[in-house]
Structure 1
């Protein structure tokens, strides 16, 4: 009779290996890497973000659009907002398409906010 095990303990048969668990970063961590200027990421963070981007095309597209939007905000480039919205509505992941549609609803006010001091 085998010794009792707790619900957390894994008993492996002889000759088997415990599966390798991927160290998947949290959505919050990925978002923080995406929204920070590229030059502020450590080499390790940059490599991890690249791994995530390679693993998921939706994250890659969301990352590119989020960085472009952050650039519009940081540099007050409201004149580029409509083009950003068009790109997001065309091929962004669903949540980002929704955000673009929300911006379009009040385009004049958002453009002014991204343009005026």
Structure 2
């Protein structure tokens, strides 16, 4: 049996009976004579909590909704953040271009620095944000063509010149 580090003994130095009492107590767990403490439930991962926040509140399973509710009760910043995220998601999915100014103002005035920074960036491009939320047409076709061109370019990068790229772009349609 290896001896625990000095840091552990510093933490346990206030135990009555000293080092030998702690060793006796731990030895019974190693030999199976004692009952090891029951581990609590495993905490939720960041990914799980993020998915709970991003999900529509009506689409969460009851268990997950309860866990998120308990987390929001314990952490007021998480509670405010979740509220902002859900309002933003409703605005985006509902394509309501008349609501971003109120959301941006609320988010900028909140003490959550990353959220306030995101809101400032939206405020800077306010016209684009309003158009993106209210207009039915978008730039997805252009973005698709740009993505296709970049894919072709990466496929032949370092193997051919501009002439082959030009032919691939014109022939592949």
Following superposition, the deviation at residue 22 of structure 1 comes to 6.0
Q: C-alpha distance in 2, partners of 1:92/1:73?
A: 23
| Alpha-carbon distance change, 55 to 79 in structure 1, aligned in 2, over 3 angstroms | same
- Say yes or no: does 1:105 pair with 2:105: no
Contact 1:62–1:92 (Cα < 8 Å) also in 2: no
Give the gaps of 5 or more residues in structure 2. 6-22, 29-33, 137-173
Give the gaps of 5 or more residues in structure 1. none
For the residue of structure 2 that corresponds to 1:4, the secondary structure is coil
Equivalenced residues, count: 111
For the residue of structure 1 that corresponds to 2:99, the secondary structure is helix
Q: C-alpha distance in 1, partners of 2:106/2:130?
A: 16
- Say yes or no: does 1:54 pair with 2:73: yes
If each structure's helix is expressed as a fraction of its own residues, which one has the higher value? 2
Following superposition, the deviation at residue 27 of structure 1 comes to 2.0
Following superposition, the deviation at residue 19 of structure 1 comes to 8.5
For the residue of structure 2 that corresponds to 1:79, the secondary structure is coil
TM-score, length of structure 1 as denominator length: 0.81
CA RMSD of aligned residues (A): 2.7
Structure label with greater radius of gyration: 2
- Which structure is richer in relative contact order (CA contacts within 8 A, separation 6 or more)? 1
